Structure 1
Amino acid sequence: MDMDGDWPLPRPTTFFKANRRPAGSSLGKTSSIASTFSSLATPVVAEAVQRARELSTTCDVEGFHQLRVAFRRLRALYWAYSPYLGEEATAQATEEFKRLAAVAGGTRDWDIAGELLQAAQESGASVELLAAAAREKRAQAVVHSQTMIRCDDVEAFLNDALHRAQSALQLHCNDLPIRAFARERVRLAQRTLQKRSRRAGRRGEAAHEEALHDVRKAGKKLRYLLEFFQPVIKGGYERTIKELTSVQNTLGRFNDIAASETLIRTTTFYEVPPEVVQESLRWLQEQKGRRMRAASRRVRDIAR
Structure 2
Amino acid sequence: MTLNFDPALVRKSLNGSLNPHPAASRARLSDPFSLRDQPVADAFVMLTAPLASEAFRQMESVAERPDVDLLEQLRSTLRRLRALWWAFEPLLDEKTGRVVRKRFKRLADIAGEPHEFDAACALLSHADKDCARLDPVLRRLRQQRREASAMSCVTLRKAQLDVLLRRALADARRRLEARGEDRTLEAFARQRVSLADDLLSKREHRAAKLKRVDAKTLHSIEEAATKLQCLLELFAPVLERGHRHTTAHLLAAQAALVRLHDVLASETVLRRVAPVLNDKNAVDEAVRWLNKAARDESRAAAKRLRSLPHLV
Per the normalisation by structure 1, the TM-score is 0.83
Written as runs of structure 1 = structure 2, the 5 A alignment for 1:86-97 is: 86-97=93-104
Correspondences of 1:152-231 after superposition (within 5 Å)? 153-173=160-180, 175-200=182-207, 208-231=214-237
Alignment of 1:42-53 (within 5 A): 42-53=49-60
Q: Name the CA distance, whole Å, in 2 between partners of 1:200 and 1:145.
A: 38
Distance in 2 of aligned mates of 1:137 and 1:286 = 24
Match of 2:285 in 1: 279
- 1:290 counterpart = 2:309: no
**C-alpha distance in 1 between matches for 2:67 and 2:209:** 40
Letter of the 1:34 partner, please give it. A
- Relative to structure 1, is the Cα distance of residues 128 and 71 closer, same or farther in structure 2, using a 3 angstrom cutoff? same
Query: Is contact 1:133-1:269 (8 Å) kept?
Result: no
Would you say the 8 A contact 2:253–2:305 is kept in 1? yes
- How many residue pairs align between the two structures? 285
* In structure 1, distance between residues paired with 2:234 and 2:303: 28
- Structure number with the bigger relative contact order (C-alpha 8 A, sep ≥ 6) is 2
**2: CA distance, partners of 1:264 / 1:114:** 10
Aligned match for 1:144, one of 151, 170, 183: 151
- The offset of 1:143, in angstroms, is 2.6
Q: Deviation of residue 77 (structure 1)?
A: 1.5
| Partner residue in 1 for 2:112 | 105
Residue matched to 1:27: 32
Change (3 A) 1:63 1:203: farther
Aligned AA (2:177): Q
Q: Deviations over 1:75-123 (max 9, x none)?
A: 2211221122121121111111111111112111111111112121123
What stretches of structure 1 of length at least 5 have no aligned partner?
1-18
One-letter code aligned to 1:281: V
| Letter of the structure 2 residue corresponding to residue 220 of structure 1 | T
Cα 1:21/1:160, change in 2 over 3 Å = farther
Q: Any runs of at least 4 consecutive aligned residues in structure 1 with deviations exceeding 6 A, and if so which?
A: 202-205
Q: Tell me the distance in 2 between the aligned counterparts of 1:158 and 1:102.
A: 17
- Asked if structure 2 preserves the Cα contact closer than 8 Å seen for 1:257 and 1:287, the reply is yes
Q: Is the 8 A contact 1:130 1:272 kept in 2?
A: no
Alignment of 1:242-253 (within 5 A): 242-253=248-259
Which sits farther off after the overlay, 274-283 or 213-222?
213-222
Please give the per-residue CA displacement for 1:131-153, whole angstroms capped at 9, x wherever unaligned.
00001211221132112212770
Give structure 2 stretches of 5+ with no counterpart: 1-23
Deviates more, 1:286-295 or 1:112-121: 286-295
Q: Go from structure 1 to structure 2 and tell me whether the alpha carbon gap of 1:302 and 1:149 turns closer, same or farther (over 3 Å shift).
A: farther
Distance 1:38 1:27, change over 3 A: farther
Cα deviation, residue 242, structure 1? 4.2
Amino acid at match of 1:117: L
TM-aligned CA deviation for residue 126 of structure 1: 2.3
CA distance in 1, matches of 2:158, 2:205: 41
Give the CA deviation at 1:175. 4.2
Q: State the SS of the aligned residue for 2:133.
A: coil
What letter corresponds to residue 265 of structure 2 in structure 1?
A
Report what 2:20 is aligned to.
none
Amino acid at match of 1:261: E
8 Å CA contact retained: 2:78, 2:108: yes
Give the CA RMSD over aligned residues. 2.8
Match runs of 1:3-22 below 5 Å: 22=27
- Identify the residue that residue 232 of structure 1 maps to in structure 2: 238
Kept after mapping to 1: 8 A contact 2:256/2:305: no
The answer to whether the 8 A contact 2:63-2:153 is kept is yes
Residue 262 of structure 2: aligned partner:
256
Q: Between the two proteins, what is the percent identity of the paired residues? A: 33
The residue that corresponds to 1:5 in the other structure is none
For the residues of structure 2 that align with 1:186 and 1:237, how far apart are their CA atoms?
Answer: 9
> The residue matched to 1:267 in structure 2 has which SS?
helix
Q: TM-score, normalised by structure 2?
A: 0.81
Shift of 1:239: 8.4
1:266 deviates by 4.0
AA partner of residue 153 (structure 1) = Q
